[in-house]
Structure 1
Amino acid sequence: MTTVFTVLILITSLVLIGSILLQSGKSAGLSGSIAGGAESIWGKNKGRSYEGILSKVTTVSAIIFIISALVLAAIK
């Protein structure tokens, strides 16, 4: 049973690292302040965009990682 959770932690940690590294920064600098009005137009489709998908993948993998780490600590 511990092997299953150890492998799950390994996989989710790699997914978590990859999804965090692929995300763009929140501060866009000067171009973000100039084109700030466009975000309100495209904000409706943010969940279907590349950034939205990466955000959801990061959230889900972090939750799975934390739960599996707690279960593994409780088993050992």
Structure 2
Amino acid sequence: MYNFLLGVVIVLSVLIVIGIMMQPSKQNSAASAFTGGADNLFGRQKARGFEAFMQKATAYLGAAWLILLLLLAYLSSVN
């Protein structure tokens, strides 16, 4: 069981990295590199289409990854 969950965590880790790399960039100018994109922090733009899907998918993958890591920590402390 432990080895299976460890394999799933490794696969999820790779999928999270791919998902983060596939997200569209939100920085449009060189000035936003210095401000850190703070001008868009409180903007009311809502993600749509592919961007919204990637945000949700990354969030769900991250949550599943965290839960599996906590489960692995518990299983390793029981033995």
Task: Calculate the TM-score normalised by the size of structure 2.
Answer: 0.69
Shift of 1:28: 1.7
1:26 is matched with 26
1:53 equivalenced with 2:16 (yes/no): no
1:17 is matched with 17
1:70 equivalenced with 2:70 (yes/no): yes
Structure 1 unaligned residues grouped into runs of 5+: 31-39
Output the aligned Cα RMSD.
2.4
How many percent of aligned residue pairs carry the same amino acid?
21
Shift of 1:26: 2.1
Aligned residues: 66
1:3 is matched with 3
Distance in 2, Cα, partners of 1:28 & 1:57: 24
- The superposition leaves residues 35-56 of structure 1 with CA deviations (integer Å, 9 ceiling, x where unpaired) of xxxxx7xx56x34x11111111
Structure with greater helix share of residues: 1
Bigger relative contact order (CA 8 A; separation at least 6)? 1
Query: Which aligned runs of 4 or more in structure 1 are off by greater than 6 angstroms?
Result: none
Report the secondary structure of 1:25's partner residue: coil
